[in-house]
Amino acid sequence: MSNSFQSIQDFADGQLLLINKPYEWTSFDVVGKLRNAFKPLKLKVGHAGTLDPLATGLLIVCTGKMTKQIDTFQAEEKEYTGTMVLGATTPTYDLESEPEAKFDTSHLTDEQIKAVCAQFTGDIQQYPPAHSAIKIDGERLYEKARRGEEVELRLRSVTISEFEITRIALPEVDFRVVCSKGTYIRSLVNDFGAALNNGAYMSALRRTRSGNYRIEDAHEILELVDTIRALKAAPDLTGL
């Protein structure tokens, strides 16, 4: 772990916290857990880059005066590892919804699968998933999508610096991606399947790096909460 906290005042002065976001937690769940741990102190807490509930890995959280730098941290390059499942698509592009269209994968070769990576390396354009946290007219896209409303998706320019296949065991394919801010890996996976004239959805995703910060240096959220509570309970020795 990269941080050493001496008192609760350290968090008010400003901290950059590296958190290993658990599976099925929202990014806001993590922020809320920390805000609750600081009570009755009212400290500013915010995260630098949303992770979907079904994704795990590195979530940068800022406290106190460090929250002013959230936009800077959020703009940094990201690295992910994950697994896609070929042969089907889902409305959410991941496991939050059931597979719909299905495709035969028996004819796909390792060479064909690996060759597709080149189509998605460099500066590319992608549509965000309809089930995403992007706001239109003050409302999240996923809220509209869950009501069955049609939403207008706009192409976004992103940069994929590295895209490699690390394991093929059809229908599963493991990958590693290094990309710019704003890249939707779910969309990348969906487009990957389409490029094979097939289907694909994401079954696992883990953020391993953001800028120069790595998952290996991250705190487990519940352990960090215990540390915060212990510091709150410790006697104030600053005046001695």
User: Which residues are the active-site residues?
Assistant: 52
Say which residues have a Cβ less than 8 Å from residue 219's Cβ, sequence separation at least 6: 1, 3, 17, 18, 19, 20
| CA–CA separation, 90 and 217 (whole Å) | 34
**DSSP 8-state class, residue 183:** -
Token pair, residue 59, equals 């979530």
| CA–CA separation, 127 and 17 (whole Å) | 31
| CA–CA separation, 212 and 160 (whole Å) | 17
Say which residues have a Cβ less than 8 Å from residue 148's Cβ, sequence separation at least 6: none
| CA–CA separation, 17 and 174 (whole Å) | 28
